[in-house]
Every structure is written in C-alpha cells, then in structure tokens.
Chains A and B, each alone.
Chain A
Amino acid sequence: MTSGPGRFRRLLASVVELKPGEEKIVTLLFLYFFLITASYSIIKSLRVASYLDYLGADKLPLAYLLTAVLIGFVVTLHSRVQARIGRVNLIIFSLAFFILSTLLFWFLFSFDWTWLSLAYYVWANIFLAVLITQFWIVVNDLFNPREAKRLVGLFGSGGILGGIFGGETTGLLARSNVDFSLLLIATGFLIVCIPVVYLLLGRPGTNQSLPPRVQPASPGPAGAAGTVGFRDCLKTVRGNHYLRLIAAGITISLVVSTFIDWQFNKVVEGAASLENKLTSFYGHFNAGLLILAFVIQIFLTSRFIQRFGLRLSFQIYPVVLVGVLTGLAILPTSLLLALSLKGTDKSLSYSLNQSVQELLYIPISPDIKYKAKVFIDMFLNRFAKGLGAILLLALLSFRPGLRLISLVTIFLILGWATLNLLVTREYTLVVKKKLKKKWERADKVVTQQVDLDYIKSVFDALENQNRSQELFVMDLFDLLRQDKFSPELKRLIVARSEAASGTSLGALFEEEAAPLPDWAWTPSQESFKKEVTEVLADRSYQELVKNYINQVLTKKGPETEVARMEAARLIGLMSPDSPLAEELGELLEDDSGEVSRLAMDSASKTKDREYVHAIIRKLQEVSTREDAARSLLNYGSKIAGTLSDYLGDETEDLELRQAIISVLSRLASQEAADFLAMELLRIPPELNNELIDALDRIRSLNPEISLPSETVRLKLASEVRKYCQNFLKARGEPGPDLEKQLADSLTSIFQLLGFIYHPDDISRAYQNLKAGTKESAAYALELLETLLVKADRDLLWPLLEDLTPSDRLKRIQVLLAELNKDQT
C-alpha cells in the first residue's frame, strides 16, 4: 500500500522533475507564494473596485504617480532594515506590518472617506512590491539556475493559485460592490504565512533549513545600515550593464502594461453590461485569467524554459501581445479583444515572463543582487508605472483614441523585445563569470612562458662544454646569432668552468668544462658575428671543411663521434646553399644518435624538403623523437601535407603516426588543423584520443582556427555513441577499465565541443562539471544550455544532466537507439 508522503511525492513529480529531498522546500515555497498572492488578490480586487467606485478610471494615473514617489522611500527603508536585522527577520517584520495595516484599512473604510481609496491603492501597491520581492529573493537564495528552471513551474504556480483563490473568494463572498470585510480574510492568509516562512527559512538567526550555500546575509556591522539606501541601490544598477538591461526591459514592459491596463479599463468602463457589478466582475475576471496563468505555469513554464531556454521563453510574452494589440488597433472598442489583451498580459506576465525574469537574477552575486532586486522590483516597477502614467497622460492630452494607443504600445513592445534579446545574451556572460577555470592547458602556459628552443640550446651548450670546445663554441655562437646569449647564461658558463677548475664554486660542477671564449666578453659582438658569418660563407673555407668532413665520415667509429657531431653542427651554421649540406643525408643516417640529432637540427635550418622523410622516420625512436619533432617544427606548416600523408597511411607504424599527430598539433596552424580534422572520422581507435587532444591543443592555443563543424558533429555523435555503449556495459560488468573509458570519452566529447564552440567556454564548463562543487556543476550545465544549439544539447543532456540512475539509464538507452538508427 502506498504511503501518504509517497503519493504526495509522486503527485509533485508528475508536475515537475523533482529530486529527492526537494519536496519540503518546494511545498513550503508553494504555500508561501500562495498565501501572499491569495491575500494580495483580495486586496487588489478591492483596490481597483474602490478606486473606480470613489475616484474613477481617469484618476488612475494619479495613483500610479503617487505610488512611484512613495516606493522610493520604501526601498530605502527596506534596504536599511535588511542590513540591520537580516532578511529572515525582515520578512517576518514585513508580514506583521501588513497584517496590522490591513486591519487598520478595514477599520478606516467604515468612515467612507473618498480619498482613502487613493491611500489604499498606494498601500496595496507597496504591499505587492514588498512581499513579492521578498518571496523572489528567497527563491534566489535557495536555488541555482538549473533547480530554479526545473521547479519554478511548481512553486510559481502557488502564487497563481493563490491569485485564483483570492479572486474567487472575492467574487463569491463580496456582499456589495466594494466589500471591505474581505480584508479580514486577507489578514488571515498573512497570519498563516508567518509559520510557513519560519519552516522554510528557520528561526531567525539560525537558518537551519537552508542549504549552506544559501544562508541569507547576516545583519551588517553596526553602522552599515547607514550606507545602504536608495542611492546605493540605484548606483548598483547603474554600474552594471546586465542589471541596466534588466531594468530597462522591465521599465518598458511596465509602461506597456500601464497602457494595456488603461486600454482594458477604458473598454470595461464603457461596457454597459458590467454596470454595478464591478467588484464581482473583477474578482471573477482576475480569477479566470489566473486559471489560464496557472495552467501555463504548472504545465508549461518549466518545460518550456528547460526545452527552449531563457532566450526564446523571454520573447513569447511580447510577441503574443503584439498579435492581440494588432487586433485591437483594428477593432479598438472590442470588449472581447480588450479581455484577450488583459488576459494575455496577466496570464503570461504572472507565469512564463515572471519566471524567466526572476531566473535572470540567480547568477548575479548576492551582494549586488539584493540591492538591485529591491531597487528594480520595488522602486523601478512603480517608477515605470508612473512613467507609463505620465506618457499616457501626455498621449491622452492629444485625445488620440484607442487605435493610436495600440500602435504606440506595439512600438514600445518592439523595443522591449530587443532588450529581452540583449539581456538573455548577457546572461550567458554572467553565468560564465560564475565559473572559475580550474586549470589551463599546460601546453599553453609552457608555450607562453618559456622558449623551448632556448632551453634546448642552453642544455646542449652546457653538455658540450664538457664534450668539445668546438661544439661548445658553435652552440654559443648560435645563441649569439639569435640574440639569446644572455648575461645570466654567461655567468652560468663561467661558474661551471671555474668550478671545474676548482677556483670558485667548489663541488658545484665537478666535470671538466671549457671556459667562456674571449669573444663572449667583447662589448660589441655584432662585428664578431659578421666576421664569423663571412668566414662560414667563404667558398674556400667550405671546400676545406668539406674535405675534412669527408675524411671524418670514412672512419665511422666511436673515436670520430665528436668530430661527426661537430660536422653536423657546423653545417647548421652555414647558409642552406653551402656544398657541405650535401653531407647531411649521410649524417642523418649516422648510427650515433647524437650525430643524427645534430644533423636533423642542421637539416631543418636548411629547410630543404629532401631531408623531411628521413627526419620523419626519426620520430619512430624514443631517443630521437623529440629532436625530430623540433626539427620538423622548424620547417613550419609547409610540411603539414607531407606529415598528413604519413598520418593517413594505415600501413605506417602507429607510434610514428602518433608522433606525427603531436608534431601537427605543435605546428598549431590552420593547415595542420585541417589535416588533423581530415582524419577525425577514419582514425584507428588507438590514436583516437591523441588526435582529438591534438586538435584541442591547437584550438586552445588559437581559438581563431576553425574546424569543419559537420565532421566534428559526426565525430561527436560517434563519441557519444561510444560513451552510451560503455555506460551500458559498465552497468553489467563494472570495472576500472570501463570507468576510465567513460571518463576518456567524456573528455573527448568536451574537446570536440570545443572545436565548434569557444574552447575556453567549453573547458570552463567541463572542468566545473568534472571537478567542481554541485553548485558549480549546475552553473556549468547552465552555461552549456545557453551556448549549445538544441541538437547538441539533446545529444549531451542524457550524459550530463543531474539525473537519478534509473532516469539516466532510460535516457541513455533511448539516445543510443536513436544514434544507432542514425548510423544505419
């Protein structure tokens, strides 16, 4: 038999995707929102009805203006009290204040003062601004964007259901046009709200119910309250581009809402059929459109936002309004269209639009968010209504008619939709800022910070210092020629030679080492470089050396190894057209690794392609691999095609092909990337990870290098398929090998994504998913959701989303079936 809590959980889970342990928090939030909106809905119905009854629709702009002015004071007061007593206390304090003031209005309305309805109107607006803002601040405290998107449909519907309940209560219980005894019911809802807030947020000062990441800000230090005020909040919004965009969008949307509100009221006021039934009409109408909002919120909002993302979701509301307004521009007095307009406005505004709008705040850092939210939700909301009222009054002074107002409203909506687009783009940047990169590709760091050629030259020179005076001097001359013969290196060489002769550093350098040649101390070394270069270029000298080298090469034994090394080194210092270069072919094939590596270096300096194949062969041996790679790199991208031929040749040794992948990646050019990308779909499994890693290296070093997205996506699908297969295998026969393969696959998948999207964004997301907290992993997914196109998201989400094991299994099985189908 199913237990009550189990049934309740299943009920919730049928509406939203609920994770274990989320039932309590979502239920309490649902109740919290329900109670404040149920209460507000009653207050609002009375607000409009009493105002129209006592003062009439034409005086509505006055109420808007007065609200805008007074709300500035509320922002200051709210910010200061929050800084002094903390958010939980503030919420309780606010609820208590509104309970008492509701009772006070109930009492004062018995005196039937005409202008009391104006005070009541303004107070009701402040009620809404304060309590709803506080509710959404709590939501921002509790959830990351992923959780909020998933759950907003459910807890957000609590607010709408509260609106329906309050509206229906008003409609059913109102005994007259304006029945203020309903305020007592609103008070009751607010009283029940207090224990709900206690259960949700914990006793003030303890905050036991909240996860550690969302502890509300504690009261500020003494005196801090004085620094938090309206100006500070305004400055926060003005100083932040993202917040400015949110603020601008909200301002225009509320100006639009004011226009729509006026249009609607004007049409309703003129409808004779509603005379003397205003309270009842508003109660029922509000409840009716809230049922629509409720259905949208509970069944569509979360699903829509999760499926289509914030960007598209944020455009639905303005687009639908434009459609209805176009109809109203054609038939300006149509009650049906006016009802549709208001219905669209409120149903989407309370559901999808409000949810998206609130989600936009979640990635903002708390210190900025709370100031901004209080300013925007409380002050700017009202200010925008006031601005709307001014614009409306200005427009009405021209007696424009409803048609023109509809057209002006459409124009405003277009501006608003543009801002929505901009703010959702900026959202990606804000989410990205939340994610710290945990590590950089080390190749990038090494390339940026050290000169690998210089390191090699220095180590070779120091080794040759003990081996041969001639080799040593040639190394130094080569460094001098490249302007790399630094004073530090000179000092090091002197120290070595002095230590070896026992004059200074004792046992630091125990081997015999050649001293620094005299020319190294010459203040002007340019003339020395010129002289040596001239000698090296001299034909007679070259002939002489050629004869010497030929003699050396006739006796290839250990006793001439150093002489052959000197010969190989010397050729590299000469011009490429020197006749000595002819000897390089033989030196490259020398049995001595030392000789052949120096020959490779010299051959690469000649840039003669004749030697490329011989050098490529040297990639096969571990001892010569790095030197061969460096020599090939000296040739530059012009040999990328030759390297690619070897890479694509299936008969070639795998180790050689692997080394070629590495060389191409170190070339890091567009050509090298193109050749590597060509292999993506036909590379053998043994080289798969190396190839993807090589391309990742190139993209991380130079994100401007592009790769063919169609090929990359095919490869991506193949890697995801492999991942799914291994995932299913690992369930049957778990083991470290399969786990490793899964981890490798995931790495490759992200690297492939980095070939289509910006590699920095992708590696940021990957690192936080792999090595971040639950919170940063959620932001990583959020970043991916904003970056990836739907097809890529669909491919990756079953692998990445925070799912229960059984859900993941199901989704991976479905995905694998689809991928297998695509393959066939």
Chain B
Amino acid sequence: MVISTREKNDILIVDVEGEIRRSDITDVTLHQWIKQQLERGKRKILLNFEKVDFIDSFGVGEILASYISTHNLGGKLKLVKISKKIFLIFQVTMLTKVLEIFDDEQVALESFFRE
C-alpha cells in the first residue's frame, strides 16, 4: 500500500494505491497514518481508493478504525472512487450505512463544504 496526499482548502485527499491487507503491512498501517494526520490537526479526510485493488477484513478494520478516530474528534472521513466489487461487498455488509462513499471527487469535496 502506497499513500500520497493532496490538499484542497482544509480537506486532506489521501490517494491510496495497492492492496490493504494484513499480509501486506507497510511500516505504518492506514489507521496509524490517519492518526498521525489527526495529530497534525487534520479533521477533513477524503480517502481516494481509485487505485486500491483489494481489501481484506484487516483492511476494512483499518478503514473503520480510521473513521472512528476521525469522527471521535469531530472530524469527517469519507471515501471516493471505490471499485464496484468492493462497493458491492460494502453494501452487503451494510458498511455503506456508516461510511460516506462517493463516485466523484468533486462531489465528495463539495459534501465537506456543505457541512
């Protein structure tokens, strides 16, 4: 998993690339990385999953933990450009009830502004 970031206004766009799975843990997990951003005062985070091919149950745990950490601090964490196959699984597991997921980055960014 490779993480790169961009910033638009006060929204941190996190471009994630590769797979988020337990067998492919890098130095810092997604949740640890998000926590570092929260420590730096970031409160609006958009995870761009356009280049994420695979997520296992560990990866889902990481996403949920990131979501919880962000929202517990009064922040917002949203997802954009998640693949259709992952989205279907998210739907079946009701994760779409909790996570805000967008197809389009601009729409996702606007949703932050609206709040």
Interfacial residues, chain A to chain B (CB-CB below 8 A):
438-443, 445-446, 449-452, 454-456, 458-460, 462-463, 486, 488-489, 492, 495-496, 508-509, 593-594, 597, 622-624, 626-627, 693, 740, 767, 770-771
Closest to A597 in B: B22
What 13 additional pairs, Cβ within 8 angstroms, besides A449-B94, A452-B64, A740-B41?
A439-B71, A441-B71, A446-B64, A454-B93, A456-B57, A456-B60, A458-B89, A463-B56, A463-B57, A492-B89, A593-B22, A622-B29, A623-B25
Instruction: Give the chain B neighbours of A455 by CB distance below 8 A.
Output: 57, 60, 93-95
B71: shortest Cβ distance to chain A, in Å? 3
Q: Are B55 and A459 in contact (CB under 8 A)?
A: yes
Interfacial residues, chain B to chain A (CB-CB below 8 A):
22-23, 25, 29, 32, 39, 41, 55-58, 60-61, 64, 67-72, 74, 84-85, 88-89, 91-95, 97-98
Instruction: Give the chain A neighbours of B39 by CB distance below 8 A.
Output: 740
CA distance A450 to B55 in the complex (A): 18
Q: Are A458 and B93 in contact (CB under 8 A)?
A: yes
A626 with B98, Cβ < 8 A, contacts A439-B71, A459-B55 known: no
Instruction: Give the chain B neighbours of A446 by CB distance below 8 A.
Output: 64, 67-68, 98
A459 with B60, Cβ < 8 A, contacts A442-B71, A450-B95 known: yes
Say which residue of A438, A445, A626, A693 sits within 8 Å of B61 (CB atoms): A626
Looking at B25, B71, B72, B84, the one whose CB has the most chain A CB atoms below 10 A away is: B72
Instruction: Give the chain B neighbours of A441 by CB distance below 8 A.
Output: 71-72
CA distance A456 to B63 in the complex (A): 13
Q: Are B92 and A489 in contact (CB under 8 A)?
A: yes
CA distance A594 to B72 in the complex (A): 31
Instruction: Give the chain A neighbours of B60 by CB distance below 8 A.
Output: 455-456, 459
Q: Are A450 and B84 in contact (CB under 8 A)?
A: no
Instruction: Give the chain A neighbours of B67 by CB distance below 8 A.
Output: 442, 446
Interface SS of chain A:
helix
CA distance A460 to B74 in the complex (A): 31
Q: Are B58 and A623 in contact (CB under 8 A)?
A: yes
Q: Are B89 and A459 in contact (CB under 8 A)?
A: yes
The 10 closest A-B pairs by CB, nearest first: A442-B71, A459-B57, A442-B68, A456-B57, A455-B93, A626-B61, A623-B22, A488-B92, A439-B74, A449-B97
Closest to B55 in A: A459
Closest to A693 in B: B72
Looking at A460, A489, A622, the one whose CB has the most chain B CB atoms below 10 A away is: A622
B32: shortest Cβ distance to chain A, in Å? 8
Say which residue of A445, A495, A509 sits within 8 Å of B98 (CB atoms): A445
| Cross-chain pairs A/B with CB under 8 angstroms, 23 sampled | A439-B71, A439-B72, A440-B71, A442-B67, A442-B69, A442-B72, A443-B68, A450-B97, A455-B57, A455-B93, A456-B57, A456-B61, A460-B56, A460-B57, A462-B89, A463-B57, A492-B92, A593-B22, A597-B22, A623-B58, A627-B58, A770-B74, A771-B74
Closest to A456 in B: B57
Instruction: Give the chain B neighbours of A622 by CB distance below 8 A.
Output: 25, 29, 32
Instruction: Give the chain B neighbours of A445 by CB distance below 8 A.
Output: 71, 98
CA distance A462 to B54 in the complex (A): 11
CA distance A624 to B69 in the complex (A): 20
Q: Are B93 and A450 in contact (CB under 8 A)?
A: yes
A348: shortest Cβ distance to chain B, in Å? 44
Closest to A767 in B: B74
Instruction: Give the chain A neighbours of B23 by CB distance below 8 A.
Output: 593-594, 623
Say which residue of B22, B56, B74, B98 sits within 8 Å of A450 (CB atoms): B98
Looking at B22, B41, B55, B69, the one whose CB has the most chain A CB atoms below 10 A away is: B22
B19: shortest Cβ distance to chain A, in Å? 11
B64: shortest Cβ distance to chain A, in Å? 6
CA distance A440 to B72 in the complex (A): 7
B58: shortest Cβ distance to chain A, in Å? 6
Instruction: Give the chain A neighbours of B92 by CB distance below 8 A.
Output: 458, 486, 488-489, 492
CA distance A126 to B57 in the complex (A): 74
CA distance A255 to B89 in the complex (A): 70
B3: shortest Cβ distance to chain A, in Å? 16
Instruction: Give the chain A neighbours of B84 by CB distance below 8 A.
Output: 508
CA distance A593 to B94 in the complex (A): 27
Instruction: Give the chain A neighbours of B25 by CB distance below 8 A.
Output: 622-623
CA distance A740 to B85 in the complex (A): 40
B70: shortest Cβ distance to chain A, in Å? 8
Closest to A459 in B: B57
Instruction: Give the chain B neighbours of A740 by CB distance below 8 A.
Output: 39, 41
Closest to A438 in B: B74
Closest to A739 in B: B41
Closest to B77 in A: A442
CA distance A597 to B60 in the complex (A): 16
Instruction: Give the chain A neighbours of B85 by CB distance below 8 A.
Output: 496, 508-509
CA distance A458 to B60 in the complex (A): 11
CA distance A767 to B58 in the complex (A): 32
Closest to B76 in A: A439
Instruction: Give the chain B neighbours of A452 by CB distance below 8 A.
Output: 64
A562: shortest Cβ distance to chain B, in Å? 13
B4: shortest Cβ distance to chain A, in Å? 21
Looking at B61, B70, B88, B93, the one whose CB has the most chain A CB atoms below 10 A away is: B93
CA distance A492 to B89 in the complex (A): 7
Closest to A594 in B: B23
Closest to A629 in B: B61
Closest to B61 in A: A626
Instruction: Give the chain A neighbours of B95 by CB distance below 8 A.
Output: 450, 455
Closest to A662 in B: B65
B8: shortest Cβ distance to chain A, in Å? 21
CA distance A712 to B2 in the complex (A): 43
CA distance A462 to B85 in the complex (A): 11
Instruction: Give the chain A neighbours of B61 by CB distance below 8 A.
Output: 456, 626
A134: shortest Cβ distance to chain B, in Å? 40
Closest to B91 in A: A488
CA distance A442 to B71 in the complex (A): 6
A449 with B98, Cβ < 8 A, contacts A458-B89, A458-B92 known: yes
Closest to A458 in B: B93
Q: Are A459 and B56 in contact (CB under 8 A)?
A: yes
B80: shortest Cβ distance to chain A, in Å? 19
Looking at B64, B69, B70, the one whose CB has the most chain A CB atoms below 10 A away is: B64
Instruction: Give the chain B neighbours of A456 by CB distance below 8 A.
Output: 57, 60-61
Say which residue of B32, B41, B74, B94 sits within 8 Å of A451 (CB atoms): B94
Closest to B21 in A: A463
CA distance A486 to B60 in the complex (A): 20
Closest to A491 in B: B92
A794: shortest Cβ distance to chain B, in Å? 28
CA distance A454 to B93 in the complex (A): 7
CA distance A452 to B58 in the complex (A): 11
CA distance A460 to B92 in the complex (A): 14
